[in-house]
Every structure is written in structure tokens, then in C-alpha cells.
Amino acid sequence: MALLYGLLWRFMLVLVHVNRALVSWLRGRVRSWKGRLWGRAMDALLLPVALAGFLHHQKKLNHNPDANAKPVYGNRSASRRLRWLSDGRSLEKLPIHIGLLVAEEEPSYTDIANLVVWCMAVGISYVSVYDYHGMFQKNSTRLLKEIIRQQQDMMGVEEPKYSVEFLSNGNDKPQHNVVSCRPTLKLLSPEDGKHSIVKAAQKLCRSVEKKEKSSKDISVSMLDTLLRESKNVPDPELVLKFGPVDSMLGFLPWHIRLTEFISLPSQRNVSYEDLLGALQQYSACEQRLGQ
């Protein structure tokens, strides 16, 4: 009997040791599983941070003038140019001359510079910038620098490929800031429209005074011919007006008989999509030309 109790006691000790070993093994497995779960959770939390850091690094590379960054930046600029050119070609009709009429007190040189670059990128040959106070004309150098900067940033072009002309104090001779061919930017003020009409009328009066023409010869078509001679650009087919003022504010009164006007809320924060939408609206409109 004593022998039986001894064997039973030893068997229970073995079970206790086995139970302890099993519990210890299970605890190790649980810790390992929790460690892996915690590691995966931390990876999931840190992944956005790492991704943000990578994107920030790539952005810095794209803006770095180092040689390694130039191919990335160049490819992006080339893609933009192709897209804008494709958008222009996709339109049924594209204005040759577009006017940007700013009817707001404070001009935004950056936003207007963006519009000028986009207009030229889609294939518009002439762009006129007009405000009632002539601020863009008075600060033409500032606007020109902003246009060049935006052209370099958006298109990757090192040197401007257009000329800038503006009429100053009634002088009909264009003043060139950049020597090039086309496209062309004109900076206008109310004096340009008024002065050209006054000058044409004075020329007609002198011709009558010198008896080169009689007063009966003077007609609207003759005045129109003189006004065309003083302007070496075609009439604007489209004018984008920025601001809440419902007025043309003296924008080239003789040259807008057949011009389409499209109003946009503001020049500030204007986007390429806003410009493209206006060009699409112009392309879809039917001009009956007085019929």
C-alpha cells in the first residue's frame, strides 16, 4: 500500500512539472505574439510618417537645381506644356487675342502672370492686360519679372519666348522689354483707348484743314481704318473680366464690337481650370456677327 501511495505521489509531481512547463511555453508564445502584433501596429502608425517624409524628400529633389533633380523637373514641365498645348488644340476655336480686364482695386501680379503664361501655353498669340488705374502698365517691370518667374516654374523655360509691349502716356510706339517674336503681351490703361480715338480724329481734322479731304469724305469706315493703323494687333475676340463691377471700364472702346465677354469672380487664386472653362465656353458660343 505504501508503495502504491509513493507511485501516485511521483505521478502527481510529474503532472505538476508538465503543467508548469506548458504554462511557461504558452506565456512565451503569447509574449512573442503580442510583440509581433505591437510591431505591426507600430509599423502601421509610422508608415504615413515615413511616406510623408519620402514625398517631402522627393519634392525637395524636384525643386533642387542640382543635376540629379533636373530630369524629374524637366519631365513634369514637359508634361504640363504638352497638356496645355493639347487643350488648346482640342477647342473648336481659340481666340487669337484675349484681354484680361481687372475690375478690382488691388492687382494680383502673381495671378495675372499665371494667366498670361497659361494663355500663351495653350496657343493664344496676343494677351492684353488692362486695369482702370493703369497699375499693371505703371508697374510693368514687376509684372514682367513675375511672368518670367512663373514661366520658369511652370514650364521649365529658362528664357522668355515672347515680347512685352505697352503703350505709355499716349505713345503709340511699342516699348519692348524683351526682344522676341510672338506671342505678345500688351499692358493697357484707359488712356490707350481714348488717346487712339482722339489721335485719329485729329489726323482727320488736319487732312480736312490741308484740303487733302473734304468733310463729306469723313466716315465711320475711314475712322476705323485710321484706328486699325495705330494698333498692330487684331481686335480681341475674348475678354475675361475679373471682379464684381459690371462694366467694361473703358477697355479699348473701338475694338470690342465683336468681342465676347466672360465674367469671373476674381483674379485672385484663379486656376488653369477657370481659364480653360472660359475658353471652352467661348469655343462653344455662336457669334452671329450682327445677323
pLDDT, tens digit, 9 for 90 and up, residues 67-101: 444 445 567 778 888 899 899 999 999 999 999 99
- The x, y and z cell numbers of residue 91, run together, are 477647342
Q: What is the tally of structural domains in the chain?
A: 1
Q: Is residue 22 part of a domain?
A: no
CB half-sphere exposure, 160, CA atoms < 13 A:
24
- The span from the CA of 111 to the CA of 147, in Å, is 10
Is residue 248 domain-resident?
Answer: yes
- Across all residues in the chain, what is the average pLDDT? 75
Give the closest residue to 115 by CA, choosing from 127, 107, 130, 133: 127
- What is the rounded end-to-end Cα distance, in angstroms, of the chain? 128
Half-sphere exposure of residue 91, counting CA atoms within 13 Å on the CB side? 23
Q: What would you measure as the largest C-alpha separation in the chain, in angstroms? A: 155
pLDDT band of residue 240 (cuts 50, 70, 90) is very high
In a domain, 160, yes or no: yes
Q: Is the pLDDT reported for residue 29 higher than 70?
A: no
Q: Is residue 140 part of a domain?
A: yes
Range of the domain at 267: 76-169+180-191+233-281
Q: What is the DSSP letter of 69?
A: T
CA distance 280 to 94: 9
Amino acid making up residue 118: W
Tell me whether residue 37 is exposed, middle or buried, using C-beta atoms within 10 angstroms of its C-beta: 0 to 12, 13 to 18, 19 or more: exposed
Can you count the helices (H) and strands (E) in the chain?
Answer: 8, 7
- pLDDT of res. 114: 95
Cell 501516485 identifies what position? Answer: 8
The answer to the question of residue 288 being in a domain is no
Q: What is the pLDDT of residues 197-231, one digit of tens each?
A: 777 777 778 877 777 777 777 777 776 676 666 55
Instruction: Classify residue 117: in a domain, yes or no.
Output: yes
Q: State the virtual CA torsion across 43, 44, 45, 50 in degrees, nearest 10.
A: 70
Give the strand order in the sheet containing 238-242.
175-176, 163-166, 184-188, 126-131, 97-102, 238-242, 260-264
- Which cell numbers hold the place of 46? 509610422
Query: pLDDT tens digits, residue range 106-130?
Result: 999 999 999 999 998 999 999 999 9
- Tell me, yes or no, whether 3 lies in a domain: no
- Give the CATH number for residue 134: 3.40.1180.10
**169 neighbors 132 (Cβ within 8 angstroms):** no
CA 174, CA 253: separation in Å to the nearest integer? 20
**Domain annotation covers residue 30:** no
